[in-house]
Structure formats: structure tokens, C-alpha cells
Amino acid sequence: MRLEEGTAVAILNLVLALGCQYQSRKEPGLPHTEAEVFFDRAHALIKFDPVETSNVSVPLLQLMLLMTQYLMGTGNTHKSWGIIGMAVRCCHQLGLHRNATYNETALHNPLDRNLAKRVYHGCLMLER
């Protein structure tokens, strides 16, 4: 699987945002300003057009999973629910819900197959 630079940087920023959410602070209740900075950077890097179906990929789904986790941690469950719903539909669009998809040439590498399965099941678990 090929990872585009913008997607990779967005994923990195989301991982840093999630890490900032769990840093210990001296005062409870203070906003996670560092986390918001990383999240805003990642959000600005996302190039997802729901009409254009050719840009859907497993790394984009990973990005959506991380974004959902971050938004759940900030209490924005309505936004996270919308993103994970899109992610599940993108999984179906890629055919990740069918075993035949994992035998195709695009996922011939066992590591890529395993990653795609984990991403799909992660989307299902977060949606539930």
C-alpha cells in the first residue's frame, strides 16, 4: 500500500493529538490546546471528497479511525459518529467486507491483507 505524504503527515498529527489528550496536566478541566493544534493541522491536510471515489484507501480509513478516536475523547460523539459512518461505507466501497477482496492482487501481501482486515474490523467496532 502506498502512503501519500499528506495522509502520512495527517496521521502523525492525529497520533500526536491523541497523545496530548492523555498527558497529565496540573489543572483538571483545562482544554487540550496542544491536542487541538495537532488535530487542526491534520484536519487541514485531509483531502477527502465524498463524491470522488478514487481517493478512498486503507490509509485514509486509518486516518478516519484516528480522527474518530480523538473526537470521542473530546466529547464530540456526534462528529465521530458521522466520520466512522463514512469510514464504514468507504470500507464497503473498497470491498473490505468480502473475503474475495483479500485475494485480489492489490492485497497480495499478507501484511497488507492483515492491515485491511484490522482497519475494517476497527471501523465496525467503533461504529457499534
Per-residue pLDDT tens over the stretch 52-98: 767 788 888 999 999 999 999 888 889 999 999 999 998 888 888 87
The winner for highest mean pLDDT among 19-28, 42-51, 62-71 is 62-71
How many other CB atoms sit within 10 Å of the CB of residue 12?
A: 15
Count of the separate structural domains present in the chain = 1
For every residue of 30-76, DSSP letters joined together read ---HHHHHHHHHHHHH----SS--TT--HHHHHHHHHHHHHHHHTT-
For every residue of 61-116, DSSP letters joined together read HHHHHHHHHHHHHTT-HHHHHHHHHHHHHHHHHHTTTSGGGGGSGGG-SHHHHHHH
**Which residues have a Cβ under 8 Å from the Cβ of 88 and sit 6 or more positions away?**
123, 124, 127
Q: Give the chain's radius of gyration (CA, Å).
A: 15
pLDDT surpassing 80 at residue 30: no
65: nearest Cα among 7, 12, 126: 126
User: What is the extent of the structural domain holding 87?
Assistant: 5-127
Determine the average pLDDT of the residues in 11-19.
92
> Please, which pLDDT band fits residue 46 given cuts at 50, 70 and 90?
confident
60: nearest Cα among 69, 70, 47: 47
